[in-house]
Amino acid sequence: MSTDCPILIWMLSLNREYTQEEYDACHKVVDECVEHIKVPYDPPNPETFRQVMTNMLPLLMMRHRRIPRAKWRDCVTPHGKHWIEQTPDDMPPEKFLHSMIGYHLAHETSLCGMAMTQGIQRKVVNIGLGIKQVAVEPRGVTVKAYSESMAHKLTPTEQQLIAPELGDEVVLRRLCILLALKSAYIKAIGQPAGFDWARLEFDIPQQMARGDGLPLQGWEFRIFRSSLGVARRDLLVEEHYQCVCAFFRGTKESTFVWHESAKELESWVQFINIDQMIKVIPKLTA
């Protein structure tokens, strides 16, 4: 994998229910420090808590880099792609050019994520993160019914990869990988919500990615799994997610990088939970 524009991912597990005090503290931080987003104040609504926690991830990342909040600003392209620009101060011009941090945020159910990379602005913004819980929607429907409801997002080649005779477990896992791949790529190129997912094709056995039938060149797709233990009232529930980071490297071919073990992930994926985030709140605004 390329050493130019190294990729780092932060994954925040919403591993338990939150309190009113925690909601208030997190909402206040985002309200004060993340000017470009206004999350409605609605404590009973877990979706607003997900949005708040997800938008705290860039603050946490910059805090880890020991860069005070007053020394950086959040910028955005016309396509809605975000990057962080630090105050040049005493930085040499060349270093400043390569100090831009492109990032993308995503969340689903109990998992909030941020993919980021550092380098020159026009490169670092081409990053996207796709997160798909390995579960049917709505809850209780069969895998067959769920995969049929998603068929409009897939090409005929992709639909063959999730043929019912492969069994529910394989079908659901493969479907979630395909959806996470498409989501990551769509977000990386800054496409709006109405983009037709069937224009993209990920022929995984052939390691081929296509858009409108033509090869997608120069992309790196990192595919990995996240498993969480989540406390729901008195129960501990295990949840699984298929995750994909898409980044444009400009190489001749597109590459698929599969990460199966925790050991492979630990050098570039950081996992944290609610308690760890709550603990650093006082430092995030400094």
**Dist. CA 106–CA 29, nearest whole Å:** 19
The H-or-E segment that residue 186 falls in is helix 168-188
Where residue 68 falls among pLDDT bands split at 50, 70, 90? very high
Strand order across the 214-215 sheet: 200-203, 208-211, 214-215
- Give me the pLDDT at residue 285, please: 83
What's the whole-number mean pLDDT along residues 278-283? 94
The answer to whether residue 36 scores a pLDDT higher than 70 is yes
Of 214, 144, 199, nearest in space to 175 by CA: 144
Long-range contacts of 223-229 (CB under 8 A, 24+ apart): 223/177, 223/180, 223/181, 223/256, 223/257, 223/258, 223/259, 224/258, 224/259, 224/260, 224/264, 224/265, 224/269, 225/260, 226/11, 226/13, 226/111, 226/131, 226/271, 228/13, 228/15, 228/110, 228/111, 229/15
Q: Assess contact for 49 and 26: CB atoms under 8 A.
A: yes
Beta bridge partners of residue 102, listed in sequence order: 83, 117
Confidence of residue 3 (pLDDT cuts 50, 70, 90): low
- pLDDT higher than 90, residue 20: yes
**pLDDT bracket for residue 193 (50, 70, 90):** confident
Residues 133-159 have pLDDT tens digits of 999 999 999 999 999 999 999 999 999
Q: Is 246 helix (H, G, I), strand (E, B) or coil?
A: strand
Q: What is the per-residue pLDDT for 41?
A: 98
Residues 256-266: tens digit of each pLDDT:
999 878 888 99
Share of the chain above pLDDT 70, in %: 99
Identify which has the larger pLDDT, 4 or 198.
198
Residue-wise pLDDT for 153-183, tens only, equals 999 999 999 999 999 999 999 999 999 999 9
- CA pseudo-torsion sign 173, 179, 182, 184: negative
Instruction: List Cβ<8 Å contacts ≥24 apart for 63-68.
Output: 63/280, 63/283, 63/284, 63/286, 68/286
pTM of the model: 0.95
